[in-house]
Chain A
Amino acid sequence: DIQMTQSPSTLSASVGDRVTIACRASQSIGNWLAWYQQKPGKAPKLLIYKASSLESGVPSRFSGSGSGTEFTLTISSLQPDDFATYHCQQYNSFYTFGQGTKLEIK
């Protein structure tokens, strides 16, 4: 089974900050990676697929990069609406999610 590890688990930041969340796969997954945003009590929302493709309607301040085993999600300038939990997911071999990164207001 492929394991996904996100870091950090919690991130405190301010509006306007640039933030990066990392996701590491236990073996190479090519670019078969997605990122989701989830707010309390709500369903996940797709942000990025194929590691770096921006889902339609998602603001351009979100970007994804990486391949193989190392991936990052970057938010270029945090907005109030961005404080949420972020999940990475590999779909190279079935599916595995990372444990999530909670982005909090500093």
Chain B
Amino acid sequence: EVQLVESGGGLVKPGGSLRLSCAASGFTFSNAWMGWVRQAPGKGLEWVGRIKSKTDGGTTDNAVPVKGRFTISRDDSKNTLYLQMNSLKIEDTGVYYCSTDRGYCSGGRCYSGWSDYWGQGTLVTVSS
């Protein structure tokens, strides 16, 4: 059974930092692209960023609102995905979900994919 379990959320002041973790099990984590999606209170879903598998280059892409502040990384030996969040703003408040990404690379080109598994989410509150 696939499981994704996020942790690390909490209350932080504007300008502060937080690192979220996502522990994965039930699938071959090293082969998977992974992503982060967030949801502000009462709002819709917003893509945060993704990381490709090392086989596909291991590169990351972030959404414009978090570029330069958030960093996604992975430790395949620990089956864990991370989201390092720096210079946090009030508008970063929300529930953060990790998810699998069915993206892949083929013939020298890479294709984004849908998210078939999601964690339960962890709440990040940025407030003074």
Contacts and interface: CB of A to CB of B under 8 A. Distances in A.
A87 B116 contact: no
Interface in A36-57: 36, 38, 42-46, 49-50, 55
A14 interface: no
B97 A46 contact: no
Given A32-B112, A49-B102, A91-B113, A96 B47 contact: yes
A50 B61 CA distance: 22
A35 to B, nearest CB: 9
Contacts of B61: 94
Interface class of chain A by DSSP: loop
Interface class of chain B by DSSP: loop
A96 B47 CA distance: 7
A98 B46 CA distance: 9
Contacts of A89: 45, 114-115
Interface string A53-85: 001000000000000000000000000000000
Contacts of B63: 94
Contact of B97 (A1, A44, A98): A44
A92 interface: yes
A46 B120 CA distance: 14
B108 interface: no
A95 B115 CA distance: 11
B94 interface: no
Interface string B104-128: 0000000011111111110000000
Interface of B: 35, 37, 44-47, 50, 61, 63-64, 97, 102-103, 112-121
Interface of A: 1, 32, 34, 36, 38, 42-46, 49-50, 55, 87, 89, 91-100
9 smallest CB-CB distances across A and B, nearest first, come from A43-B118, A95-B47, A34-B114, A49-B114, A91-B112, A97-B45, A100-B44, A99-B44, A46-B116
